[in-house]
Amino acid sequence: MFIIDLGAPSYYSTLGLSPIASFDEIRTARDQMIKELRDKQSKAATPEEKQKFIDRQTEINAIGETLARPEKRKEYDRANAHLGFFMVQVAAAPLFMEKADRMHVLHRMIKDFLAARGVELRPLSDMDRDDFSADETPIELLDNLLREEKP
């Protein structure tokens, strides 16, 4: 899921969720955040810091309760429909679920962008290379194969 934060906070962005998140996902996100806040609260050095974490827990609980109850969630969504314009919804792109896939596409886009402007990037690995003329490292197995192929 990709969320773009344009300075318009919503209950969904606070919990790090998509507006189409299930009730189980909402409860899980809320519980995880509460757990993290309690851990931080127990390590807080001053009463002011502890109170800050308690206030944040109260806020997260209220947000979670609103989104976890169907009637309250519908009411929130109706009252805050404008916030939907500030989010990129999940699209049919299962390819980008893995970080490596996203990095590969990002690298390809950057490489193509720079190539169009006359800048060439070095390959990330030998898998990306198609010209090995400068590589003169002797590899006995390959050299033997080449000798066998020559008549």
- pLDDT, one tens digit per residue, over 41-98 is 888 889 999 999 999 999 999 999 999 899 999 999 888 877 765 554 544 455 566 7
- Tally the domains of the chain: 2
- Would you say residue 99 has pLDDT above 90? no
Domain check: are 77 and 111 in the same one? no
Q: Indicate the DSSP class of residue 97.
A: G
Q: What is the pLDDT of residue 82?
A: 72
Per-range mean pLDDT, top range of 11-20, 63-72, 103-112: 63-72
Phi-psi region of 146 (alpha: psi -120 to 50; beta: other; left: phi over 0): alpha
Domain range for 46 is 11-91
Residue 87 placed within a domain: yes
Is the pTM here over 0.75, yes or no? no
Q: Is residue 108 part of a domain?
A: yes
Pair 135, 83 in one domain:
no
Instruction: Identify whether residues 52 and 113 lie together within a single domain.
Output: no
Domain-embedded: residue 137? yes
In a domain, 6, yes or no: no
**Is residue 21 predicted with pLDDT exceeding 50?**
yes
